[in-house]
Chains A and B, each alone.
Chain A
Amino acid sequence: MRLNPSAEARDPVPVLGIAATPLVAESDAVLDELVFDAVSRALREAGIRKQEVGLSVTASLDIYDGRSISSGLTNAASGGYLAQSYRIEGDAGQAVVAAAQTIAAGDADLAVAVGVYNPEVSAPDRRAFLQQISNHGFEPHFDRPVAMSGETVLGLHAGRVVDSGDLTEEQLALIAAAAITRGSTRERSARTTAVSAADVLASVRVNGVLRELMLPAEATGAVAVVLGSLARARRALHPRAVLTGWGQATADTTASGQWLVDPAVAARRASLEAYDRAGLAEPAEQVGAAELTAATPALLAPTVDALGLAKSATELCPSGGVASCFPGVANGALRLLEAVEWLEGNGGRAVAHATDLLTGPVAETATVLVAEGI
């Protein structure tokens, strides 16, 4: 098997295993069962025993998990028993970046990143629960009292896009319908029926111009990634891709208004870091596919532009993206999984972009991963 990533890449890190639990609306497994399932699958695929893992990084949020220090419960399942581990409160893309940094730093040969998402509250109350949590993620003096939440800012942004004449509601619906339909036949899709723009417009109105089918397709589950050093990867069962670049950036808070006028600024900064590490000078010409986290159709164009992929032939969200499946804070690892599977069918390079969506584009931390096929 060839394992020769581009010479331009700085400290490339192979993906030795990547796997997801079933991503479903309601999981009957508890947190540590989900983490164990995903990590075991990814390690088995990589042919690596848990005891060999040098570091495991978990991405989850206590407040979703319904218990303080929930990583205490999930840690052993993630490979942390008598080993190095910690938990990032945020999206799994950050865990992948941290794991990759650990290998690039020479601090481990093998690292696991896992994201888990299974909110304590079931549908139909989950949406209200998530919005209440989201509200608590906003600035306490001015934002919270006026009920700011992730959906609110997404709705305000989409409304601004429509009001400014950039897109009509029908165009937003067309974008959403295309993404849902594209992903509808895929195994991991949470929306399994093709829809039309009319279906999208007829779905429940959520906030302003936004309808339910314009928002991410909520799912629960866990996704795990096993990364290794280039040297160790040569003895892995079948490396699936190589991470050649990664970047992470955080947007500004509410008051600046940046989230309205430049909502993908964090993606832009993260992509610059990732492309620099990967040695990509012309991403529009060098990236074959991009798995994006555009939480609404109104965010698609800004995100694509931020990643430097506007006016390119890059295939956007071949899986349907978050319109097809959005497993909360495990999303960053899922986007990488979709990108890796695309690479296995097409070769070349792909990009995975993720944010946590806790507070929409406000103060979001975005990650961008660049992967090469093997």
Chain B
Amino acid sequence: MASRAVIAGVGITPATSPRKQTSSSVELVQQAVWGALEHAGASPSSLDGVVIGNIDGFEGTVLGAKHLVRRLGLGAELPVSILNTGGTTGGNLMQVAARQVRSGDRQRVLCIGGPTFFGARDLQAAINTNSPMIVEQPLGMGAYHMGAFYPSAYQDRFGASVADFAVSAVQDHEHAARNPYAHLRNTLTIDDVVTAKPLSSPMTMAMVCPVSTSANALLVTSQQAAVTLRPTPVLIRAMATSSDPYLGGGKNDFAAMENLAILAQKVYQLADVRNPREEIDVVEVFCPYAPMQPMQLEALGFAPPGGGIGLIRSGATRIDGDLPVNLSGGPLCTNAGVAGELAPYVYVALQLMGDAPEAMQVPDARRGLAHGTGGTFFQFENLAILERQERS
């Protein structure tokens, strides 16, 4: 019998660079997993499933999760599902876990996001192998080259400047400074961002996510299985994914995130959201490149086309605004691969539970939006509307 699924516990580790990281991948994941269990007040023996992400080719292993999950102290019998959809792997974990619960097959499923990246150059080389093989691969195209297509087209359409694209970077760093788990916690000025090393026009180094290491975990349960757990449960009200074609040429318009807009319409329909700006209290979007954030906010219906930068400049997306966005600092300040992709879901859940770090907690947040994107030319999108579920 189909049922509803909730988030009932989260765990997260502080992030740093691979160079400064003193814990192994296994140790990081252990910390996150046990953090989630402690947060939930759940025992390992009460779990009945694990959904974990691996991005082979980036990690130096083949399905390393097969062994990792048996080194976490969770026993030797949990069924394990391993996902890989590239940059949306982490964001898809919750959806798969939720369906295992909603189908009645599982009661308590742990989603695990571990670190994925171990060096910036290796990372770009690995990403090159997923780009189209006739033109893009031989040109050496990596992730941020693909990411630069969007702001370049946006500039052409709306006349945005490099300084305009810097606004979300400045704000994300401001937010990350309040987040004890963030990797980059320094603040930046517009000038810092504009004068940083050029990477792929119009993006500078300060507009591009760092390579981080951290881990996180999210406990998805049935409503019944959450009754005895500690946090205020967060209902997975609506969730979906949507995909564009593989070739960049298959996108109709790089100046607008059309696939995300289509997905948002679907998810809002499922959640009965009619006015997202008024009905959503907190937002975490996955924007590893600063210029993506205003475009995503437009696609999500928070601003009109060309209005995303103005929305951020207005202060509405700050912690004291009416639409706080990426209070974690987002992937622009912490991107640990699968863990970074799961992070929007982790942080929105924490906000709605009222369990976010004090300096970044949005008062009385009741409904949140979590988002992920990735794949070749960011072809994949995932999205969910989460709601605080008061206990009676």
Binding site for B on A (CB under 8 A): 10-11, 32, 61-63, 66-73, 75-76, 80-90, 94, 98, 100-102, 104-107, 133-134, 136-140, 246, 248-250, 252-253, 256, 258, 269-270, 273, 277, 358-359, 363, 365
Contacts and interface: CB of A to CB of B under 8 A. Distances in A.
B63 interface: yes
B61 interface: yes
A66 B245 CA distance: 19
A72 B1 contact: no
24 contacts: A62-B57, A67-B57, A68-B55, A69-B375, A70-B130, A71-B86, A72-B379, A81-B244, A82-B242, A83-B242, A84-B241, A84-B242, A86-B83, A88-B84, A101-B99, A104-B105, A105-B103, A140-B61, A248-B79, A253-B76, A358-B62, A358-B63, A359-B66, A365-B79
Given A86-B92, A98-B96, A256-B76, A71 B103 contact: no
B246 A75 contact: yes
Contact of B243 (A76, A137, A139, A277): A76
Contact of B62 (A100, A102, A137): A137
Interface of B: 1-2, 54-58, 60-64, 66-67, 69-70, 76-88, 92, 95-96, 98-100, 102-105, 126-127, 129-130, 133, 240-246, 250, 259, 262, 374-376, 379-380
B207 to A, nearest CB: 23
B83 A88 contact: yes
Contacts of A75: 243, 246, 375, 379-380
Q: Which of B60, B84, B96 has the most CB of A within 10 A?
A: B84
B130 A67 contact: yes
A269 B77 contact: yes
B68 to A, nearest CB: 10
B85 A86 contact: yes
Contacts of B104: 10-11, 104-105
A76 B77 CA distance: 35
A85 B241 contact: yes
A101 B100 contact: yes
Contacts of B127: 68
A88 B67 CA distance: 17
B2 A104 contact: yes
Given A62-B55, A63-B62, A90-B82, 11 more contacts: A75-B246, A75-B379, A76-B250, A85-B241, A86-B85, A88-B83, A89-B83, A101-B103, A107-B99, A133-B62, A134-B62
A68 B2 CA distance: 35
Contacts of A62: 55-57, 84
A355 to B, nearest CB: 12
Nearest to A80: B243
Given A76-B245, A89-B63, A105-B102, A68 B58 contact: yes
A69 B85 contact: yes
B21 to A, nearest CB: 17
Nearest to A133: B62
